[in-house]
Structures are given as C-alpha cells and as structure tokens.
Structure 1
Amino acid sequence: MRDAVVEHVRDALLAAGLPDTVIVVDDSVATAATAAAVLGCEVGAIANSLIFECGGEPLLILASGAAKVDVKLVARELGLPKIKRATPEFVLQHAGQPVGGVAPLGHPVPLRTILDTELARYPVLWAGAGSHRAMLSLSYAELARVTGAEPAAVR
C-alpha cells in the first residue's frame, strides 16, 4: 500500500523539475543517526526538516543532522521574533507531515525556510520524504532552489 503523504512529496519533487529520488526503507529513519546508518552516509549529509514556531507562524529550518540548531542565533541573525520548538500537532497542521518524516517540500502552503550553510559541504543530501520510512536525495543547490530557502548559519 502506498503512503499518500509520501506520494505527495514525490509529486512535489517532480513538479519542481527534479527526478524522483524517494526511497522507502524497512526501518525507521526518523532521526538523522538512524537515517545515516540505513543510507550509509555521514550524519552531516542528512538535511533535517525542523519546523519551529516563530511569532505564531511556522519556520522550517533545514539543518545538517550533525547540527543542533541555535534558535537564538538564527533569530538574532535574521531579525526574527523568538523561535520556539513546535508541537507535533503544529508541525502536522503546517507541514501536513509527521515529526520525524517532514520533507523540505510538499507542504500545504510554502513555508519560510532557512537552509543551514553547513549542508553545502556534501555533494548529496538526504531529507525526509513525508514518513518515518521514506527519504529523498538532492544537492544543496537543488534544495535551495525548490524551497526558496534563505541560507544561514544555524549553529
């Protein structure tokens, strides 16, 4: 049985002019460490799609799996109000995808997105694709283009 959310992410990739790189694996890839182990890549090459609440609005930060996001730094550098951790319900409402499986695209409406500049070090990035068992791959330039993200240091 196909997962409708994963299929929506797959459709968003294709609509953005990218190839279908979505893979579905047997084990959960809900954390950067487990995803890297399953995919055989460095943890830093995992682009975590983290939804935060910023002034009541969603803020998507695409951060290297090797990074712990410094929300105070991001808020200060970008002139944003306080950034706080979003609840799973807030994430699902705004991303249409569950925590641990949030993709960088395919949301109900485009989200303001920040892209960790550390991710540029990796020729191939892996990101969630809408479920705890689905991932997609793309380059830093492709990720920046399809999300319209603002590049920034996040740690």
Structure 2
Amino acid sequence: MQDNLKKKAEIVQTVLNEFGVELNVVQLAASTRSAQEAAAAVGCTLGQIAKSLVFKGANSQKPILIIASGMNRVNEKAVVVVIKEKLQKADADFVLEQTGFSIGGVPPVGHKNPIPIYIDQDLMQFEEIWAAAGTPNAVFKLTPKILVEITKGKIISIK
C-alpha cells in the first residue's frame, strides 16, 4: 500500500516537472486528506488550500473538477450557471476511475482522463497556495497564477 501511494506522488511530481516550473511534492508525516488537516500540516491558512473536488455532470455523467479554496463550499446553483449542467456528487469509485487518484489526494493535474477544470476565484488573492499531490500525505506549493497555467482551468465564483 505504501509503495502504491509513493508511486502516486511520483506521478504527480513527474507531471509537474513537465511544466517547466519548479514545483516540488512534499511528503508529510501528518495527514493532508482534508483542507483543515492540510492547512495545519503545512502551516498556512485554510483559504490557501486548493482542494480538488470531483463532481459528475447530471446529464453528461462526465467528471468536472472544481479547485476550491479550503475555506469555501461549492454552491452548486452558482456553478451550474457557468457550466450549464447540474452537478452530482461523485463517489469514490468514480473519482478514482476518472482521475487515477483517491479522494483526499486528488491533485489538480496528472489525471487519468481529461477533465474540465474550474478554479475558485478566491484562490487568486493569495501569494502562495497548496494543492494535493496524489496521496493523503503529499502536497505541493504553487502560486494561483501557476495553478491556472498548468491546469488551463477557468476562474469562476463558486459561492
């Protein structure tokens, strides 16, 4: 199990290296599975955690990734205006099948399948943010600008 988790973090690091910016996956002893745990583990504010939330389009049944500030909940009614489709919660099997990663460690990049990505505009206020790196104990630090560049995500209001 531990080797498999290590491989997931290595996959994310390999993908990050391909972007030509210095982003380094950090393996922590403490859990980063939830936004609160991640903020405590890296010593940042809850808002600086870029949590990757996978939803399913109600009609298309396709994955939709929303990268939300750790302090925010996704207001599905606000998001549907932008994506033109109602959201459904994605279960753990769907998330793993679509991204290649388990809930609690889904990174913003390196997914198994292409996924449309939407980024919470509240993340843009921070100089640095932290995102999951493939496991419940791995994260990496980046800027909001780099997050937009590497994900090709669309900045939206999720509240």
Range into which the TM-score falls when normalised by the shorter chain: over 0.9
C-alpha distance in structure 1 between counterparts of 2:83 and 2:147, whole Å: 23
Which sits farther off after the overlay, 18-27 or 55-64? 18-27
| Displacement of 1:110 | 2.5
| Displacement of 1:17 | 1.3
User: Which residue of 80, 96, 99 maps to 1:95?
Assistant: 99
TM-score by length of 1: 0.96
| Equivalent residue number for residue 118 of structure 1 | 122
Unaligned 5+ runs, structure 1: none
| Equivalent residue number for residue 56 of structure 1 | 61
| Equivalent residue number for residue 144 of structure 1 | 148
CA contact (8 A) 2:23 2:142 kept: no
C-alpha distance in structure 2 between counterparts of 1:49 and 1:110, whole Å: 14
User: Which residue of 134, 138, 147 maps to 2:138?
Assistant: 134
TM-score by length of 2: 0.93
% same residue: 32
C-alpha distance in structure 2 between counterparts of 1:81 and 1:140, whole Å: 26
User: Which residue of 8, 11, 22 maps to 1:8?
Assistant: 11
| Displacement of 1:79 | 4.2
| Equivalent residue number for residue 41 of structure 1 | 44
| Equivalent residue number for residue 26 of structure 1 | 29
- Residue type at the aligned position of 2:102: P
User: Which residue of 100, 109, 131 maps to 1:105?
Assistant: 109
How many pairs were matched up? 154
* SS of residue paired to 1:103: coil
- Regions of 4+ moved over 2 Å: none
- Residue type at the aligned position of 1:96: G
- Residue type at the aligned position of 2:90: A
Matched, 1:82 2:104: no
User: Which residue of 55, 71, 79 maps to 2:76?
Assistant: 71
Unaligned 5+ runs, structure 2: none
* SS of residue paired to 2:8: helix
Kindly provide the CA deviation profile for residues 120-153 of structure 1, in whole angstroms up to 9, marking residues without a partner as x. Answer: 1111110000000000111011000100101100
C-alpha distance in structure 1 between counterparts of 2:136 and 2:84, whole Å: 30
